[in-house]
Amino acid sequence: MARVNKIGLTMKDYRGAPSTLCQGCGHNSILSQIMSALFEMSVQPEDVVKFSGIGCSSKAPTYMLSRSFGFNGLHGRMPALATGALVADVTMKGIGMSGDGDTASIGMGHFKHVIRRNLPLVYIVANNGVYGLTKGQFAPTAEKGLVLKRHGENPYMPIDVCMEAIASGASFVARTFAGDPKQLRTLIKAAFHHRGLAVIDVVSPCVTFNNEPQSHFSYAWARDHEAPLHTMDFIPAEEEIYLEEPMEPGEVREIRLHDGSVVLLKQVESDHDPTDRLAAIRAIERSYQEGVLLTGLLYINTEKPTLFDILNLPEDKPLNRMDEAILRPSRETLEMLNQEFFSGAAPRGNGHGG
């Protein structure tokens, strides 16, 4: 018998169409951890909506959650598309799948502005430092000096998705590695419960175009250089059943999310405080100097107002279920408004004459 979650669904209910991504692509691992996380959290697939742009990353949503609505839009425009859609029904949970080119090149402006607006959305950047669909050009996140078969050596400094996110005022910023399923899944769960925009930069090796052993985006490099910021576990308020390992009380830091769920941080190599924005920036900067891949929850702020707060949208009544009675003002209202315009009535009296 297949394992059944609290709402009576099996893993099968979270699957999508068969993947057409390359065998061994890191993106497949990301998809499978999203599906696992939602299954474990017993999220109804119909309550989830998927968005993506263009690229290998953006093809990926087809291969998960076929019971959920999805919109595969234009290159770089996923954040804008998701903004319009999610406003229509604030009770839906959005997952945006993007890539390094989609986010850090053609869509950089939208990425930073959707962060600024704090749209409630799990924003996953499947980051492999290379353009796959167009067959192996440098992505803006590729490290300086990386050598690719067809394009030689990359002469430019990379863009760090997490640094950009923090600089733009993101309320949740994490980095992980597609080859670390446990951390990835835990971060997805935490992001899913975050009230606001949650950026997860997932180093996701491209097996076809960027898997040279010396590349930061290869499996080999990442395994050797990954420096987890802290071991972290996420416990949704209603269930602790999937807790992977017990926490030592002295090692635990609690971050309470708006929906009542809690993120616990176990500090392993540093005493990083993820509510401290400066500390997050310093930690990333230090990781450059040390040449390590810093993973974990880098920054979180659970108090920042979301776009829905700012727009003052009803929490219980989705906009897209409102009918004419609410949307079209009355005939009397129009008459009143007509009377407010400057009218051509004949002048009266002569009181002010020169």
Partner 1 sequence: MAEEIAEHAHVATPAREIVNDFSITVGSINGTGSQTSNLTLLRALFRMGIPVSGKNIFPSNIQGMPTWYTIRINKHGYLSRRDEHEIVVAMNPATVHEDMERVVPGGVFLYADHIRPQGLREDIVTYPMPVQKLARESGAPPRLRDYVANMVYVGVLAYLLGIDMDAIHAALAYHFRNRAKAVDLNYNVVRSAYHWAEENLEKRDPYRVLPMDATQGLILVDGNTAAALGAVFGGVQFVSWYPITPSTSLAEALEGYLARLRKLEDGKQTYAVIQAEDELAAINMAIGAGWAGLRAMTATSGPGISLMMEGIGLAYFAEVPVVIWDVQRVGPSTGLPTRTQQGDILFAHFASHGDTEHVLLFPADPNEAFEFAWRAFDIAERLQAPVFVMSDLDLGMNHWMARPFAYPDQPMDRGKVLWEEDLERWEQERGEPWGRYKDVDGDGIPYRTVMGNRRPGAAYFTRGTGHDEYARYSEDPENWYRLVQRIKRKYHANRHILPRPIAEETGQPVGILTYGTVDAAMVEARALMEQRGLVTDYLRVRALPFHDEVGDYLARHQRVYVVEANRDGQMAMLLRMAYPQWATRIRSVARTDGLPLSARFIAESILSQE
Distance separating alpha carbons of residues 204 and 99, to the nearest angstrom: 10
Q: Considering only residues 25, 30, 31, 86, which one is a binding residue for partner 1 as defined by CB under 8 A?
A: 86
Cα distances from 221 to residues 155, 201, 230, 261, in angstroms, run 20, 17, 20, 34
Question: Does residue 169 bind partner 1 (CB under 8 A)?
Answer: no
Least spacing, CB of residue 52 vs partner 1, in Å: 9
**C-beta closer to partner 1: residue 110 or 175:** 110
- Using the contact rule CB under 8 A, the part of the chain among 87-95, 141-149, 231-239, 296-304 near partner 1 is 87-95
Q: Least distance in Å: CB of 149 to partner 1? A: 27
Q: Note whether 23 binds partner 1 by CB under 8 A.
A: no
Least distance (Å) from partner 1 to the CB of residue 219? Answer: 29
Q: Which C-beta is closer to partner 1: that of 60 or that of 206?
A: 60
What is the distance between the alpha carbons of residues 164 and 304, in angstroms, rounded to a whole number? 18
Could you give the CA distance from residue 50 to residue 46 in angstroms, rounded to a whole number?
11
Q: For residue 264, give the nearest of 124, 185, 274 by alpha carbon.
A: 274
Q: Is 343 in the site for partner 1 (CB under 8 A)?
A: yes
- Residue choice 26, 55, 61, 274 for contact with partner 1 (CB under 8 A): 61
Applying CB under 8 A, the span of 29-37, 40-48, 161-169, 271-279 interacting with partner 1 comes to 40-48
Of 31, 80, 257, 263, the one binding partner 1 by CB under 8 A: 80
The number of residues that bind partner 1 (CB under 8 A) is 71
In the DSSP assignment, the letter for residue 292 is: -
* Contact between 264 and 301 (Cβ < 8 Å): no
- Interface positions, 299-338, toward partner 1 (CB under 8 A): 311-314, 318-322, 324, 326-329, 331, 333-335, 337-338
Binding residue for partner 1 (CB under 8 A) from 11, 22, 69, 309?
69
Helix (H, G, I), strand (E, B) or coil at 121: strand
CA distances from 185 to 153, 179, 227, 233, 353 (A): 34, 11, 17, 9, 81
Nearest to 188 by CA among 230, 229, 233: 233
Question: Which distant-in-sequence residues (6+ apart) come within 8 Å of 273 by Cβ?
Answer: 253, 279
92 binds partner 1, rule: CB under 8 A: yes
User: How far apart, in whole angstroms, are the C-alpha atoms of residue 290 and residue 181?
Assistant: 24
Among 42-50, 153-161, 233-241, 246-254, the segment contacting partner 1 (CB under 8 A): 42-50
**Backbone φ, ψ for residue 33 (5° rounding):** -75, -30
Instruction: Kindly tell me which of 245 and 342 has the beta carbon lying closer to partner 1.
Output: 342
CB closer to partner 1 out of 23 and 312: 312
Name the amino acid, one letter, at 134: T
- Helical spans, DSSP H, in 168-244: 181-193, 219-225
CB of 316 to partner 1, least distance (A): 10
Site for partner 1 (CB under 8 A): which residue of 22, 42, 66, 208?
A: 66
Q: Which of 22, 77, 133, 266 binds partner 1 (CB under 8 A)?
A: 77
